[in-house]
Amino acid sequence: MDGYVGLATLSAETGRRDEAIQVVQQGASANDQSGRLQYALGVLAEGKGDAATAKQAFLKAEQLDPQNVETQYTWPPWP
């Protein structure tokens, strides 16, 4: 799990956001109970301007890891 997040972070920091999103999506597919990967996907998707993907990822991250308070403060409440 940490490897996916690390590679995605490196990709995003070097301007390859689409590649970063793909890496996190692969990690989330392999680890479907990881709130951390869903949170990372939400952050990356929000940065890209993909609100629908970000919303879905943040909601799933909150469900999988309700102790992660960052999830609750990263994305504004939805109507």
What confidence tens digit (pLDDT) does each residue in 47-65 have?
899 989 999 999 999 999 9
Sequence-distant (≥ 6) Cβ neighbours of residue 31 within 8 angstroms = 1, 4, 37
CA distance 27 to 67: 21
Task: Report the percentage of the chain scoring pLDDT > 70.
Answer: 90
Q: Largest alpha-carbon pair distance within the chain?
A: 35
Q: Would the pLDDT of 22 be above 70? A: yes
- Residue 75: the pLDDT is 61
Identify whether the C-beta of residue 31 lies closer than 8 Å to the C-beta of residue 1.
yes
What confidence tens digit (pLDDT) does each residue in 27-51 have?
999 999 999 999 999 999 988 999 8
